[in-house]
Amino acid sequence: MQLPSLKDKLMPSGSVQQAKANFSWQSLTQLLSGLWQRLYLPRSPFLALPAPPLATPPANTTQRRAKKEMPRTRRLHHSRDRSSAGTRDKRRRHDTADHSPPLAEAPSPPRITNTHHTRSAAKRRRHELDAKKAQISKEPTFDDSISTRRRKERSKRSHRKSPAASRRQHKYRYRDETSHSSSRRRHRDRAKDERDSGRNNRQSQAKTAKPVIQDDADGHLIYHTGDILHHRYKIMATLGEGTFGRVVKVKDMERDYCMALKIIKNVEKYREAAKLEINALEKIAQKDPHCDHLCVKMIDWFDYHGHMCIVFEMLGLSVFDFLRENNYEPYPLDQVRHMAYQLCYSVKFLHDNRLTHTDLKPENILFVDSDYTSHYNHKINREVRRVKNTDVRLIDFGSATFDHEHHSTIVSTRHYRAPEVILELGWSQPCDVWSIGCILFELYLGITLFQTHDNREHLAMMERILGQIPYRMARKTKTKYFYHGKLDWDEKSSAGRYVRDHCKPLFLCQLSDSEDHCELFSLIKKMLEYEPSSRITLGEALHHPFFDRLPPHHRVGEVSNKQPLSSGSSSRERSHSLSR
């Protein structure tokens, strides 16, 4: 029989068993906590439980302990609700507590009683650890110095072309990195510098950038009011538009004077026609430098990105535009006389120098000054305009052709086209005389003499107004408008009825039987002769009785005392020099 030891004798049997149980439980928990720590696992709440009692405690003691302890599920949830740093701090705290000498009294109280103090301590330790990490990170290492140097080199390379960026780099070289106010100030100043540099770049680009030259679908130059062409001519307004291009009002920045600029379409055929017009105007200017023969004066010309531009003196409205704005009220007879005389005198100058205009019409005859006065006409019950000054200028030499140059088959605008052009029999200076006769009729009555767009109908109107076309011309033409020398025309058709109702013999169109009116129609009839060889010349027209009543101050020059330019051998040399 084994004898009890002294320790067993001094202690009661129940307390001895309780102490052995506590010792063995503490050893077991220490062993498990060490293994748990080596496996890098969070500390299990199971290891923090007190040793299980051997005997069943009283009922009232068990109830009080249940009230104080937190349920297992809540403790697990509470421990997982912390951050990773807090979990490491708790594990470190429990590990130090496990390695401390064991206590003799009962197990440690539940963790819920120390939750507040544990959290505050964990926060304090977490802040201390963060401060140490920040201090360690501030200390530069070898790798950090290399990466910093490389970043600076890349920054220099990227900002090498920007002086503003280098100024910003030196400006904030000694900035305090821990100062939040200086950081905000740095970003604000940097944004301001970037805005200023961007604005300066845009302004410099706007100053150095060339204007964008664009054309529309038809080849017209797209421009705006205020644009400056050729570094000299500032566009003020648009004056007119035609098939060739547009005419704009410009201001000469050098002379501070308004002029007319003709901008030709960027189309090959119109560009070549403009070159021919420039050549003709230069030859005319050589023979008539002071514009004594009433041809428009060319001041300058240049090529603007494929658009031929010709600068002219500023003139007024055309005789057609003035007529249209006056509700097609015809011009008074004395004004018709003066304009007809100037037109014949100007075109005669071209004919004397072997040049044919080929495009005479009211649109190409411009007033020097189109100011007018208004008065009320009781017969028509409306106001009528009367131009003050009937001085005119001849324009548009784009189709002008010298005698030795190639002659196109079709020339002149439809309503002013001579019969030899329609029948393709060849043409020369007499086709201009036919056009002048049609213009005089339109100025006198305010309506077009041949209002048509068809060749056969045009010939039918001629026969209705002027009589039958000569048999020689009908037989000579290669066109199919005639049958056995007569015009192939059905007078009973709708077109035939229109011609019969709207056209009548020429002398029936007179507004009066007075001598002046009869003389005018006599001149028109001679200008509208079918045969070009029988048609009156402009030199003969200037001596017609219709111009005898022209006031002396309206006569440009005494034709009778002036030697024609085309007479003699010397005139041929001058004509040749004008054409080439």
Q: In this structure, are residues 567 and 353 in contact, taking their beta carbons and an 8 Å threshold? A: no
Spatial distance between the Cα atoms of 444 and 466, rounded to a whole number of angstroms: 18
Quote the DSSP letter at residue 112.
G
93, 220, 233, 300 from 251: Cα distances, Å: 94, 20, 5, 13
pLDDT for 490-540, tens place per residue? 999 999 999 999 999 999 999 999 999 999 999 999 999 999 999 999 999
What pLDDT band is residue 42 in, cutting at 50, 70 and 90? low
What pLDDT band is residue 215 in, cutting at 50, 70 and 90? confident
Spatial distance between the Cα atoms of 345 and 336, rounded to a whole number of angstroms: 14
Neighbouring C-beta atoms of residue 545, cutoff 10 Å: 12
Q: What angle do CA 446, 448, 454 make, to 5 degrees?
A: 165
Checking if the pLDDT of 104 tops 60, the result is: no
% of the chain exceeding 70 in pLDDT: 65
Spatial distance between the Cα atoms of 287 and 512, rounded to a whole number of angstroms: 41
What confidence score (pLDDT) does residue 144 get? 56
Higher pLDDT: 194 or 572? It is 194
What pLDDT band is residue 213 in, cutting at 50, 70 and 90? confident
Q: Averaged over 260-281, what is the pLDDT? A: 94
What pLDDT band is residue 439 in, cutting at 50, 70 and 90? very high
What confidence score (pLDDT) does residue 362 get? 97
Kindly state the tokens that stand for 251: 């201001």
Picking from 132-146, 237-251, 447-461, 530-544, which range would have the lowest pLDDT averaged per residue?
132-146
What confidence score (pLDDT) does residue 422 get? 97
Higher pLDDT: 95 or 266? It is 266
Higher pLDDT: 162 or 472? It is 472
What confidence score (pLDDT) does residue 419 get? 97
Checking if the pLDDT of 131 tops 60, the result is: yes
What pLDDT band is residue 561 in, cutting at 50, 70 and 90? very low
Neighbouring C-beta atoms of residue 359, cutoff 10 Å: 20
Between β-strands 307-312 and 257-264, what pairing exists: parallel, antiparallel or unpaired? antiparallel
Neighbouring C-beta atoms of residue 35, cutoff 10 Å: 10
Q: How many CA atoms lie within 13 A of 99 on its CB side?
A: 7
What pLDDT band is residue 564 in, cutting at 50, 70 and 90? very low
What confidence score (pLDDT) does residue 568 get? 36
What confidence score (pLDDT) does residue 147 get? 61
Picking from 8-22, 145-159, 429-443, which range would have the lowest pLDDT averaged per residue?
8-22
Between β-strands 257-264 and 372-377, what pairing exists: parallel, antiparallel or unpaired? unpaired
Tokens 């208004």 -> residue: 374
Q: Averaged over 120-132, what is the pLDDT? A: 76
Spatial distance between the Cα atoms of 296 and 397, rounded to a whole number of angstroms: 9
What confidence score (pLDDT) does residue 184 get? 64
Spatial distance between the Cα atoms of 521 and 517, rounded to a whole number of angstroms: 6
Quote the crossing angle between the two packed helices 515-527 and 430-445, to the nearest 10°. Answer: 150
Checking if the pLDDT of 40 tops 70, the result is: no
Checking if the pLDDT of 11 tops 90, the result is: no
Q: How many helices (H) does the chain have, and how many strands (E)?
A: 20, 14
Higher pLDDT: 367 or 83? It is 367
* Residue 377 parent element (H or E): strand 372-377
Higher pLDDT: 566 or 247? It is 247
Checking if the pLDDT of 73 tops 50, the result is: no
What pLDDT band is residue 121 in, cutting at 50, 70 and 90? confident
Spatial distance between the Cα atoms of 415 and 436, rounded to a whole number of angstroms: 11
Spatial distance between the Cα atoms of 336 and 510, rounded to a whole number of angstroms: 14
| Neighbouring-strand partners of residue 401 | 356
Quote the DSSP letter at residue 215.
B
- The answer on whether 251 is annotated among ligand-binding residues is no
3-state secondary structure 282-327: HHHHHHCCCCCCCECCEEEEEEECCEEEEEECCCCCEHHHHHHHCC
Q: What angle do CA 115, 119, 123 make, to 5 degrees?
A: 175
Checking if the pLDDT of 571 tops 50, the result is: no
Checking if the pLDDT of 282 tops 50, the result is: yes
Higher pLDDT: 319 or 107? It is 319
Tokens 């509700």 -> residue: 327
What pLDDT band is residue 139 in, cutting at 50, 70 and 90? low
Domains of the chain: residue spans and CATH:
217-314 (3.30.200.20), 315-554 (1.10.510.10)
% of the chain exceeding 90 in pLDDT: 54
Checking if the pLDDT of 198 tops 70, the result is: no
Which phi and psi angles does 261 have, rounded to 5°? -115, 120
What residues contact residue 247 under an 8 Å CB cut-off, 6+ apart? 238, 239, 240, 241, 260, 261, 262, 263
* Residues tagged active-site: 359
Spatial distance between the Cα atoms of 57 and 409, rounded to a whole number of angstroms: 135
Spatial distance between the Cα atoms of 249 and 31, rounded to a whole number of angstroms: 106
pLDDT for 366-417, tens place per residue? 999 999 999 998 888 899 999 999 999 999 998 999 999 999 999 999 999 9
Q: Across all residues in the chain, what is the average pLDDT?
A: 79
Checking if the pLDDT of 315 tops 70, the result is: yes
What confidence score (pLDDT) does residue 152 get? 65
